[in-house]
Structure 1
Amino acid sequence: MTQRTGLILDFGGVLTTSVAACASGFDRRAGLRDGTFLSVIAKDPEGVRLYADLERGAISQEEWNERTAALMGIDGDNLLGRVLADLHPAPEMIAAVAAARAAGVKTGIFSNSLGSGPYDIYGGYDLHANHDVVLISESYKTRKPDPELYTIMLGLMELPGEACVFVDDTARNLPPAEELGIATVLATDSVSTITQVEALLGLSLRPEV
């Protein structure tokens, strides 16, 4: 087996707290039935199309805000920022990734875009300074799980699939990575995710106590 020397990470829900939990909090604050927002972007045909267009960079965040809010019958002003108001860094996961990089593992962010404004989900994380590679889907006008994007990511990492681990909190984003020989981890809680990554890299990524 090729030694695994690359760690590829989704952003939201991996280096941050749960996006789904944020959506539930938004529903409550907006006076919507629990599950409304996630249903609109994952099940409503127009909502699904709009969200895919946002991730591909085919529409701006401002346009997405207005058109998606209209599907829910609410105000669209900074909708994404309001939905993700409770999103925070996941410090244990961030520290583990930093430990992997310090040990010589190449790290890369592989994230579907949500646009850059008015709300910037990546603000304050200094991704380019803290990781070797940053791929945001809108720059390539496609999105995960498009297999082409995974090949591009490996090219940027300058590593074969067998040398990489990929962590994502969305199950449908994992199979294209597995097809390229990448070991995958479905992110749940930080402790479980870190344990799985440690096993795959053969490294301890947490401080000894």
Structure 2
Amino acid sequence: MSRTFQAIIWDFGGVFTSSPFEAFNRYEAEQGLPPDFIRTVNALNPLDNAWAKLERSDVDAAQFDTLFRAESLALGREVPGRDVLGLLSGSLRPRVVDALKVCKGHGKVGCITNNAPIGKGASMTSDDAKARELAAVFDLFDHLIESSKLGIRKPDPRIYALMCEALDVDPGACVYLDDLGINLKPARDMGMATIKVTSEAQLLADLEAVTGYALS
């Protein structure tokens, strides 16, 4: 029997949009880099590396470019940080947006996104049409937390607590979805049901199974 949930809380990139990891892999193949090289750079010193500093707004895009170059060079290949930033904004998944609307009909919905102070708005894209398209999705949430504005990023447990406080819900009555396992652990430790997103179809199937909501 399905649990009764007060809120569904979502990550954005890699959940509502195609995964930036796909774009990373295409770039790596084009540049002759080892597969998952960019993710390897991002995984080193994950709480205080260039990526973490950018998502907390501790550095700007130009500083990120310099820092990421140095971090990648330390692993044997120099990758401009500005190239990585150009790979972040994936294509929208309309079926996931439809699922969000269904969830909104059953309770509250929130979004916690680790983003960077680049592009137009929370979506980090510089394309006007795409920014408007993604802004319409962000407007559906009852509450949005952006790491670049708050100065705290996932997996800091405080960011999940702040979302529950803003939505006025019990963590044990929430579902949290993210494409990164490291970001799911704090939510799970708080009592949330968690779903690791690996694809659009898997997301929809798992969310329907957990909540009992008709999503298809």
TM-score bin, normalised by smaller chain: 0.7 to 0.9
Structure 1 gap ranges (5+)? none
- Alignment counterpart, residue 136 of structure 1, candidates 146, 160, 163: 146
- Alignment counterpart, residue 95 of structure 1, candidates 88, 95, 98: 98
Cα distance change of structure 1 residues 32 and 2 upon mapping to structure 2, 3 Å threshold: closer
Alpha-carbon offset, residue 196 of structure 1 = 1.5
* Number of corresponding residues: 202
**TM-align CA RMSD:** 2.5
Correspondence 1:106 to 2:116: no
Deviates more, 1:9-18 or 1:119-128: 119-128
Give the alignment of 1:126-165 within 5 angstroms: 126=135, 127-165=137-175
Q: Which residue of 2 aligns with 1:12?
A: 13
Cα distance change of structure 1 residues 66 and 128 upon mapping to structure 2, 3 Å threshold: same
Q: Which residue of 1 aligns with 2:63?
A: 63
Alpha-carbon offset, residue 148 of structure 1 = 1.1
- Residues 54 and 61, structure 2, Cα contact 8 Å, conserved in 1: yes
* Identity within the alignment, %: 25
Structure 1 letter corresponding to 2:111: I
Correspondence 1:200 to 2:210: yes
> After the TM superposition, which segments of 4 or more aligned residues of structure 1 sit over 4 Å from their partners?
45-48
Correspondence 1:73 to 2:78: yes
Structure 1 letter corresponding to 2:101: A
Structure 2 gap ranges (5+)? none
- Residues 41 and 48, structure 1, Cα contact 8 Å, conserved in 2: no
TM-score under structure 1 length normalisation: 0.85
Tell me the distance in 2 between the aligned counterparts of 1:181 and 1:58. 31
Tell me the distance in 1 between the aligned counterparts of 2:101 and 2:110. 11
* SS of residue matched to 1:130: coil
Give the alignment of 1:41-56 within 5 angstroms: 41-43=42-44, 45=45, 49-56=49-56
String of CA shifts for 1:30-68, please: whole Å, max 9, x gaps. 34333222222213x599611111122211133212321
* SS of residue matched to 2:86: helix
Structure 2 letter corresponding to 1:67: L
Tell me the distance in 1 between the aligned counterparts of 2:4 and 2:36. 42
* SS of residue matched to 2:58: coil
Tell me the distance in 2 between the aligned counterparts of 1:185 and 1:59. 31
* SS of residue matched to 2:134: coil
- Residues 47 and 68, structure 1, Cα contact 8 Å, conserved in 2: no
Cα distance change of structure 1 residues 82 and 59 upon mapping to structure 2, 3 Å threshold: same
- Alignment counterpart, residue 190 of structure 1, candidates 193, 200, 210: 200
Give the alignment of 1:163-174 within 5 angstroms: 163-174=173-184
String of CA shifts for 1:112-138, please: whole Å, max 9, x gaps. 122223881483311442211111112
Tell me the distance in 2 between the aligned counterparts of 1:136 and 1:189. 23
Alpha-carbon offset, residue 165 of structure 1 = 0.5
